[in-house]
Amino acid sequence: MVEHQLRGRGIRDPRVLEAMQKVPRHRFLPNPEDPAAYGDHPLPLGCGQTISQPYMVALMTECLRLTGEERVLEIGTGSGYQAAVLAELAREVYTVERFPELASQARSALEELGYGNVHVVVGDGSEGYAEAAPYDRIIVTAAAPEIAPPWVEQLEEGGRLVLPLGDRWGQTLVVVRKQEGKMAQESVCGCVFVPLVGKHGWRGE
């Protein structure tokens, strides 16, 4: 997976590659025996959610430019796999999931694997998680129609926000940097994620 799907497609950060090598992706799936666990595609989790393809997990993580000292907020815990990768690379991770069932499963997997620096919270990810703010980095793993104001407020000056921005059917992965209170945005590539549902997302999913 790492050699062909990641390194072969341009992922260069050695720490990201090492983390992707280390985290057992199959442990975060409903069926750990699934032969497609390390395939180059997303997989269903239940509740209409998916675990992103390994390449997209690595790309978004690389875009965060983590050094090991950051506090990271993840919007959309899903399986907990992305949070585990972040936990290998950052000091502390807070991750918000709107489905209690998925949050519980992710929490169990993360605890079993010893990721004590990850805190799983049930809530509306579009509102961020003010209780532990501010954050050095924020990553959003669902398609957002806008950059939610709470994310901007909860991001440290100089921080980075990585998210898929667009409509329900197609998005652009963007990196947003907070500079002097303003948000500077750059595009990375096209992508397709499940929609973000919440106060600053879409309703009624």
pLDDT digit string, tens, across residues 93-134: 999 999 999 999 999 999 999 999 999 999 999 999 999 999
User: Strands, E, within 47-181: which ranges?
Assistant: 49-51, 71-75, 92-97, 118-122, 135-140, 155-166, 171-179
Of 155, 151, 152, 186, residue with least CA distance to 172: 186
Please give the share of the chain, as a percent, with pLDDT higher than 70: 99
Given this model, what pLDDT does residue 182 score? 86
| Torsion angles phi and psi, residue 193, rounded to 5 | -125, 160
Given this model, what pLDDT does residue 204 score? 58
pLDDT tens per residue across span 130-176: 999 999 999 999 999 999 999 999 999 999 999 999 998 999 999 99
Q: Is there a catalytic annotation at residue 52? A: yes
Long-range Cβ pairs for the range 29-34 (8 Å, 24+): 29/79, 30/105
Given this model, what pLDDT does residue 180 score? 86
Say whether pTM exceeds 0.85: yes
What architecture is domain 2-191? 3-Layer(aba) Sandwich (3.40)
* Average pLDDT of the chain, as a whole number: 96
Out of 52, 79, 104, 187, which one is annotated catalytic?
Answer: 52
